[in-house]
Structure 1
Amino acid sequence: MPDIDAFTEGLKEYLDDQAVNLVRQAYICAEKAHEGQFRRSGEPYIIHPLAVAKILAGLRMDPQTLMAALLHDVIEDTDVAKEELAAQFGDVVAELVDGVSKLTQIEFKSKAEAQAENFRKMTLAMAKDIRVILVKLADRLHNMRTLGPLHPEKRRRIATETLDIYAPIANRLGINSIRIELEDLGFAALYPMRAKYIRKAVQNLRGNHQEIIGEIKRRLEEKLSQRDLEGVIIGREKHLNSIYQKMKYKHKSFHEIMDVYAFRIVTDSEDSCYRILGAVHSLYKPLPGRFKDYIAMPKANGYQSLHTTLFGMHVNIEIQIRTSEMEALANNGIAAHWLYKSSSPDVAAASQVRVDRWVKGLMEMRDRADDSMEFIEDVKIDLFPDEIYVFTPKGKILELPAGATPVDFAYSIHTDVGNACVACRVNKVLSPLSVPLQSGQTIEIVTAPGAKPSMSWLNFVVTGKAKSGIRHFLKEQKQSESSELGRLLLKKSLNSFGKTLSDIPEERIKRVVQHNKVGSFDDILEEIGLGSRMSYIVARQLVPVEGDEEELEILQSDDSENALTIKGAEGLLVSYAHCCKPIPGDPIVGIMGSGSGMTIHAESCTKLSSKGRKQQDGKEQGGWVTLDWAKDITDEFSVELKIGLERHRGIIAEIASAVTLADGNIEKINVEEQNAQLSVISLVVHVQGRRHLARLMRRIRNMKAVISISRVKN
């Protein structure tokens, strides 16, 4: 066993003998279980789990993770059961192996849906133990390194999934070493020719740049020595995928990207980082707006460093300055948590808190999403943040993606704050909720009891948490409103039988629920409110004809003398028709749409003939509901007016003034026709009812220039 001998010998650098022996036992168990199994390349299968364990050993992971890596395919691909692993290696290792096994592919309608559902399961596994995803990342990295023997289409699918999901997760967990390799391997698998040309161009340039790189490094070392500062200077390589993405999305040429020289300075303390920053700024001129302090304000994945760009030697020089601990965290991210658990508990705790917060946010989005596809779209937003940093009024720093708005900020504090948000102050100045935020701003959210999210917020929010929070609230609100509307419609239909809902025996309600094959009576009410089930039929089922206990599927008119009352602000399930724009005082009817609730039309609307009652088997189908307006409605309604008038200077301003004097609001004004003497104007105004409209039209009609005025109903 030469491979395992070399591997376990390397583990002795950071693990004790007992831990190394446990890892060896796990290898022996895995080798025995996979005996006779081979990879597509023809190699023994045990090569793969050993390689996965080696990747994790490179991150200095704990022995339980290494054991799980060696055994990660045992439950799935062999006869060994979870209970056997638990008996031999303990419950933690068995749970880790089981968690990784559950992330395997299952059959779905589409590959996209399979990917989405797998990611949904992954969040559940991560919530139980983040090490599950670390084993999965190492597993994916070795699979990417050995893609060669696979069919080209499968190679492309795996590479796409890697770039879409696994590389961003590695980035979010701060594991830079794995993230960079996953990106470069994914890029090379998707675009082999592009990767080949860029790699060759980089190699050709590297020789030409050695002299400049050497000179810059020598001057930096000299400057640090003058100031008596400790620091190791490392030249940073540019990665293939990074070069390609900058060429593609930033529209830069290859030479523009490669003419920037990048260095990293690793030092002993945070204080030395800032002193080195002063030293390099005294050597070369810093470029304005290019300095970032990620030490004071770490990235969401825990990354810390000082970034600055200098101009010297006729080239741009990018420099990152960080401590050795920050360097380990930058490369190993959450994996460094186990490395620093005993030696530096503060670093470990900070790393764990960030990951816990992210995973908790994922779980919230997962619970709220209607399906896996919606969930993964929301999560992808959060996996690709270009960060901005803003402050709460108490000075706490929050990181948000670029383009985030005050509503995103509100939801990042808490879902309840987002739901109740009505206004905001940016740097103590009242600002729109849709304004994109900038780094350094202080944001204060104004909330109000009973406030609700608006559907229009979905047009400008950018974070997954805000999108899922708004969708979830609107879905709950729609269900509540449809249930209430369904109850009103059913009550009206039962009245025509001389019954109320309280008169119906519980047993009868249960029979109707079973007959309609729904989960509960509330589901029936929701469907009635949405217009996908007729209230008359349900009422007929609840009140059977004497001597006939069967539910009769008879379609009859849902019209009766007992009209529903419309109050003006019914919510998501009741809308007003744009064709006839009904207002309080107009005779109205409601048209039930399948799944969309009720649309209110004026009784005189020409569209009613096609949308209202339809003949079916010689009987009228109840497609509409008789409605009445409530008294004392204070809401405003849109009305369109057509005005013919003589042209003269300032006439539009005079009409606007007349509308204002009549307590109306103009929504839209448009000149439809005009010649030298006459104009026809279309005016959309907000009024509270027919009386208010009559008063407004009278005031406009009394203007000298007005020839005619009429309300547009269709």
Structure 2
Amino acid sequence: MIDVDDLIALVRNYNPRTDEGLIRRAYDYGRDMHEGQKRRSGEDYFTHPVAVAAILTEQRLDDATLVTALLHDTIEDTKSTYSEVARLFGKEIAELVDGVTKLTNLQLSSSEAKQAENFRKLLIAMSKDLRVILVKLADRLHNMRTIRSLPMEKQVRKARETMDIFAPLAGRMGMQWMREELEDLAFRVLNPEGRSSIIRRFIMLQRETGDVVHQITNDIRNELEKAGIEADVFGRAKKPYSVWRKMQEKDLAFSRLSDIYGFRVITGSEQDCYRVLGVIHQRWRAVPGRFKDYISQPKNNGYRSIHTTVSGRDGKRVEVQIRTREMHEVAESGVAAHWSYRDGVRAQNRFAVDPAKWITTLTERFEADEDHDEFLETVKLEMYSDQVFCFTPKGDVIQLPRGATPLDYAYAIHTRIGNSCVSAKVDGIRVPLWTRLKNGQSVEIITAEGQRPQVSWIDIVVTGRAKAAIRRSLREEDRGRFVKLGRELARVAFEHVGKRATDKALRTAARRLGLPDEIELLARVGSAELTARRAVEALYPELAAAQPSEEVDVKRPVVGLAPDQPFRRANCCQPVPGERIVGITYRGQGPIVHAIDCPALAEFEDHPERWVDLRWKAGRHPAVHTVSLNVTISNALGVLGRLCTLIGEQKANISDLHFVDRKPDYYRLIVEVDMRDVEHLHNVMTALEAESDVAQIERYRDLSRKP
């Protein structure tokens, strides 16, 4: 364990004016409070807070943050209290310690609704004082470095939480070194074989080619010396997880992977950065599409650097980052650079971002009234985003995440612009709305009155703001229609038991089903989220149970066809009873039945004479309606068997199953399941979603499959 004198020496290296007495008092207090407590490894527990403080000295942080690190577990794990910490060390430190304690108690890997609420609390804590998150990240880093002493089940849970939440959060804050280390430590737990294979391949590559990093570093230095440019050059092989992720994303073998080495050139001025870029591009061939200028267009966490990829020695692709020393400090510390000290005073780094402004940009789009899943999707998209910079026709810059489309751009300007968008021009050329935008492009949005968001837009956009706005608009637009349909379905269902669906009856049913009012009940019935029979059962369980459920003839399940008129379900959308349907006629054959929201119907909009109004017959349908499910499962012993068992427990039959993607850690497969109706489908998907080894499940709809 680092003793107090060594810790103070670490602080004095960058802050000679540190309050040595404050740190000594905090060190002694923390050690006394944790007296007798042990870590899983058998070490004294206080070794952990001291190690966390030491990590924060690498960021040159202020005394208050370091003292918080020394005390961050006292309120939670000892007899210490908030009032005592405030009395001994001041209100500022007490607030910081209390904030870390509250973050520690958040279960960020819990159920989705709880997780979303805890994310809100995390963001609130960040908005109060970002140093709380800095301590928590250092706490997680030390815990990951010493994770081997935990039971394997807890190691896996912590590693997944680190990979999903803390690593991207560190990256979003600009602390790239911490993100890479957290990812690699989590990777070591989640996929030790994959990590070992990457390391073995690096060793083999080094035996075959020699020390490539040293060779290329010398090549760059020699070229800069010839040009008379003073700069420091550093090189390294990329982290195993970074290489693994690139292999998975590009579906490439290690031998075919390029730019597995990264190099940094640290200069004295911005002018030298561009001179270095010129030298490198003159000496080596630049790779098209791999140039980013974050100096002229910095990221909103303060990051500035020039990135370029060139074909270096022996044709190997290498990435080169060029920045000044001030930029490098921000690149290493990110938002934490705001609190950094140098020579006893707060470092005046002109590139360090104001934490208050940064947290505002991160949280301004998280609206309090969003659904849990939408909020969670939004916050994760925001944390994982890498940026693209586009220009408005007037020359203003719009920042978007990588992969963004003109629709994302439109919603970034204003929700009204996004909702009324009909097309876009990129660099003066009209492009489809699903086009992926690139750095430096000029985008013009074309709008039209009467245009409304389409369901298909959800799959086009990538930003949380755009997705939330589209869903909100669709809900508002569809709500009236669903309420009207739900009222009709409820009327029929109540009449079947000899009752009337009055507003009072519906209001009572809604209350018993945990819904706010009868309008919400009708909207859910109309959208097939809830059956009208459930509403009847909520009020009259005896009458509903007494109603015989008539079996529907499997050959004639649809109302609206002529006697003996043939029909087929569309392969693209695979409609099931309970969903709204429509028929499309074809010459020489019966109609093809589509779900009303099937995108394939768009091609028939100009041919209303081919549309046939259809509906499913009331009653109990046999389980003969095949639906395709796209399922991603862990590649672990027995998972596929459990998946099949769960489907069987829901009284559903698997008619076909085939794998579409096999990876070392997961499988993706299409499962064909025979369903009775939309409620049966919902029950099956809910049961599978609850299985911990099922990473994702969605209904598979393939428009390439002919009706």
Aligning the two structures, in what range does the TM-score lie when normalised by the shorter sequence? Answer: 0.5 to 0.7
Query: In the alignment, is the contact (CA less than 8 A) between 1:247 and 1:254 conserved in 2?
Result: yes
* Superposed counterparts of 1:89-108, under 5 Å: 89-104=89-104
* Superposed counterparts of 1:290-689, under 5 Å: 290-316=290-316, 317-339=318-340, 342-344=346-348, 346-349=350-353, 353-361=357-365, 363-364=366-367, 367-371=369-373, 374-385=374-385, 387-447=387-447, 451-479=451-479, 482=482, 519-520=516-517, 523=520, 640=585, 642=587, 685-687=607-609
Cα distance change of structure 1 residues 510 and 490 upon mapping to structure 2, 3 Å threshold: closer
Cα distance change of structure 1 residues 356 and 597 upon mapping to structure 2, 3 Å threshold: farther
Query: In the alignment, is the contact (CA less than 8 A) between 2:410 and 2:421 conserved in 1?
Result: yes
Query: In the alignment, is the contact (CA less than 8 A) between 2:112 and 2:372 conserved in 1?
Result: no
Cα distance change of structure 1 residues 600 and 349 upon mapping to structure 2, 3 Å threshold: closer
Cα distance change of structure 1 residues 244 and 415 upon mapping to structure 2, 3 Å threshold: same
Structure 1 residues without counterparts, runs of 5 or longer: 542-550, 556-577, 583-595, 602-636, 645-665, 670-682, 691-714
Give the drift of 1:412: 2.5
Q: In the aligned structure 1, how far is the partner of 2:86 from the partner of 2:102?
A: 16
Residues 516-525 or 258-267, more deviating: 516-525
Partner secondary structure for residue 138 of structure 1: helix
Partner secondary structure for residue 103 of structure 2: coil
Query: In the alignment, is the contact (CA less than 8 A) between 2:423 and 2:447 conserved in 1?
Result: yes
Cα distance change of structure 1 residues 84 and 488 upon mapping to structure 2, 3 Å threshold: farther
Cα distance change of structure 1 residues 523 and 94 upon mapping to structure 2, 3 Å threshold: farther
Q: In the aligned structure 2, how far is the partner of 1:304 from the partner of 1:13?
A: 26
Give the drift of 1:318: 3.4
Give the drift of 1:247: 3.5
Query: In the alignment, is the contact (CA less than 8 A) between 2:525 and 2:531 conserved in 1?
Result: yes
Equivalent residue letter for 1:348:
A
Q: In the aligned structure 2, how far is the partner of 1:48 from the partner of 1:685?
A: 71
Cα distance change of structure 1 residues 271 and 518 upon mapping to structure 2, 3 Å threshold: closer
Q: In the aligned structure 1, how far is the partner of 2:224 from the partner of 2:308?
A: 16
* Superposed counterparts of 1:686-705, under 5 Å: 686-687=608-609
Give the drift of 1:19: 3.6
Query: In the alignment, is the contact (CA less than 8 A) between 1:291 and 1:307 conserved in 2?
Result: yes
Q: Percent identity?
A: 40
Query: In the alignment, is the contact (CA less than 8 A) between 1:424 and 1:432 conserved in 2?
Result: yes
Give the drift of 1:511: 8.9
Equivalent residue letter for 2:370:
R
* Superposed counterparts of 1:223-302, under 5 Å: 223-257=223-257, 262-302=262-302
CA RMSD of aligned residues (A): 4.7
Give the drift of 1:56: 1.4
Q: In the aligned structure 1, how far is the partner of 2:194 from the partner of 2:220?
A: 35
Partner secondary structure for residue 453 of structure 1: coil
Cα distance change of structure 1 residues 422 and 132 upon mapping to structure 2, 3 Å threshold: farther
Query: In the alignment, is the contact (CA less than 8 A) between 1:424 and 1:431 conserved in 2?
Result: yes
Q: In the aligned structure 1, how far is the partner of 2:124 from the partner of 2:577?
A: 36
For normalisation by structure 1, the TM-score amounts to 0.67
Partner secondary structure for residue 436 of structure 2: coil
Higher Cα radius of gyration? 1
Equivalent residue letter for 2:178:
I
Query: In the alignment, is the contact (CA less than 8 A) between 1:639 and 1:687 conserved in 2?
Result: no
Give the drift of 1:259: 8.2
Cα distance change of structure 1 residues 279 and 184 upon mapping to structure 2, 3 Å threshold: same
Query: In the alignment, is the contact (CA less than 8 A) between 1:391 and 1:443 conserved in 2?
Result: yes
Equivalent residue letter for 1:413:
I
Partner secondary structure for residue 41 of structure 2: coil
Q: In the aligned structure 2, how far is the partner of 1:206 from the partner of 1:415?
A: 53
Q: In the aligned structure 1, how far is the partner of 2:103 from the partner of 2:579?
A: 46
Q: Cα deviation per residue 1:212-266 (whole Å; 9 max; x = unaligned)? A: 6555444433433333322112222322222323344334444555886543210
Q: Cα deviation per residue 1:279-308 (whole Å; 9 max; x = unaligned)? A: 233333434444332222234543322223
Query: In the alignment, is the contact (CA less than 8 A) between 1:231 and 1:265 conserved in 2?
Result: yes
Partner secondary structure for residue 104 of structure 2: coil
In the alignment, what sits opposite 2:648? none
Equivalent residue letter for 1:12:
R
Cα distance change of structure 1 residues 597 and 471 upon mapping to structure 2, 3 Å threshold: farther
Cα distance change of structure 1 residues 406 and 515 upon mapping to structure 2, 3 Å threshold: closer
Q: In the aligned structure 2, how far is the partner of 1:290 from the partner of 1:344?
A: 32
In the alignment, what sits opposite 1:48? 48
**Equivalences, count:** 572
Equivalent residue letter for 1:640:
T
Partner secondary structure for residue 352 of structure 2: helix
Cα distance change of structure 1 residues 478 and 258 upon mapping to structure 2, 3 Å threshold: closer
Equivalent residue letter for 1:369:
D
Query: In the alignment, is the contact (CA less than 8 A) between 1:369 and 1:472 conserved in 2?
Result: no
Give the drift of 1:138: 0.9
Q: In the aligned structure 2, how far is the partner of 1:510 from the partner of 1:579?
A: 31
Q: In the aligned structure 1, how far is the partner of 2:293 from the partner of 2:401?
A: 17
In the alignment, what sits opposite 2:196? 196
Cα distance change of structure 1 residues 382 and 527 upon mapping to structure 2, 3 Å threshold: closer
Equivalent residue letter for 2:585:
E
